């Protein structure tokens, strides 16, 4: 099977995607919202603004608890000033509008949160990694024709490409990798493989490209054959997930 070369995502909105994920989570967690707003203020990343209110969007990134949200927040506030993430200027504008919306007494929540340990992840101590898997989707007819060894080889190639993209953003410094990608790389490197219909595979790919999420894929004359998705993505939240079949 002939394949095209790996093509990294270059649409340039991943900074906004990450910000929207954090703001969506903050909308349901006032303690985290107060802490994050204070972190943004202290970082000097944005200036106060009186722009219109921010519009929150559903996120496909993995922010299911304070651990993931806090680590992504700290990572984002590091990479934005360094311009190490695509769409950093737009991300700064949205953060500035959001910070301005926060209540003046938000700092009271920060004291409450830290006192009771609500936001201890990533701030104090050394929390255990919560490894998220990297998902690989394979078109159904391709999976049927592929031997196990061939699938393993392709998965290694695709996952390595996602790591390479992350290292490029981090300017070669593994300590500055995106949190979930860092945990995956230095953890168990867990891969979950699904088979997918051609239409579902294309739909999921288009959604990831829209949000500028790191991915890696292979093609043949019929379209996408393999799609590897960064561990930053919470796959069950993506439309079409229920149509995927776990490859056993």
pLDDT in tens, 28-66: 888 888 889 889 988 887 765 555 555 656 678 878 788
Same domain? 94 vs 174: no
Over residues 203-227, the mean pLDDT reads 94
Q: Which among 80, 123, 72 has a CA at the least distance from the CA of 230?
A: 72
Same domain? 239 vs 145: yes
Domain count within the chain: 2
The pTM of this model reads 0.76
pLDDT at 10 over 70: no
pLDDT at 117 over 50: no
For residue 200, what pLDDT is reported?
96
Same domain? 108 vs 68: yes
15-29, 38-52, 68-82, 149-163: segment of lowest average pLDDT: 38-52
Domain that holds residue 103: 14-115
Same domain? 85 vs 177: no
Same domain? 102 vs 179: no
For residue 128, what pLDDT is reported?
52
Same domain? 105 vs 41: yes
Over residues 124-134, the mean pLDDT reads 62
Last residue of one domain, picked from the residues 53, 84, 115: 115
Same domain? 190 vs 152: yes
User: What average pLDDT is seen over the chain?
Assistant: 81
In-domain check, residue 21: yes
In-domain check, residue 91: yes
For residue 66, what pLDDT is reported?
87
For residue 19, what pLDDT is reported?
92
In-domain check, residue 235: yes
Where residue 195 falls among pLDDT bands split at 50, 70, 90? very high
Same domain? 156 vs 233: yes
For residue 52, what pLDDT is reported?
52
Residue, of 45 and 243, whose pLDDT is higher: 243
In-domain check, residue 123: no
For residue 112, what pLDDT is reported?
42
Same domain? 18 vs 94: yes
Where residue 124 falls among pLDDT bands split at 50, 70, 90? very low
């Amino acid at each position: 099977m002939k394949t095209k070369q790996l093509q990294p995502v270059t649409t340039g909105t991943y900074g906004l995607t990450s910000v929207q994920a954090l703001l969506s989570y903050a909308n349901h967690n006032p303690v985290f919202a107060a802490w994050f707003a204070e972190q943004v203020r202290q970082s000097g990343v944005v200036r106060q603004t009186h722009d219109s209110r921010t519009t929150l969007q559903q996120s496909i990134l993995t922010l299911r608890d304070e651990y993931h949200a806090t680590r992504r927040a700290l990572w984002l506030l590091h990479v934005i000033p360094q311009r190490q993430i695509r769409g950093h200027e737009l991300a700064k504008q949205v953060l500035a509008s959001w910070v301005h919306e926060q209540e003046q007494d938000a700092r009271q929540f920060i004291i409450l949160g830290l006192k009771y340990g609500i936001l201890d992840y990533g701030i104090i101590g050394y929390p255990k990694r919560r490894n998220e898997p990297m998902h690989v989707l394979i078109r159904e007819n391709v999976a049927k024709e592929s031997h196990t060894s061939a699938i393993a080889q392709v998965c290694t190639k695709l996952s390595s490409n996602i790591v390479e993209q992350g290292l490029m953003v981090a300017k070669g410094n593994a300590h500055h990798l995106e949190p979930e990608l860092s945990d995956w790389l230095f953890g168990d490197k867990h891969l979950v493989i699904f088979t997918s219909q051609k239409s579902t595979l294309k739909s999921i790919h288009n959604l990831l490209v829209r949000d500028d999420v790191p991915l890696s894929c292979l093609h043949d004359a019929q379209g996408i054959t393999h799609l590897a998705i960064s561990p930053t993505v919470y796959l069950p939240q993506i439309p079409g997930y229920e149509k995927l079949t776990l490859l056993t």
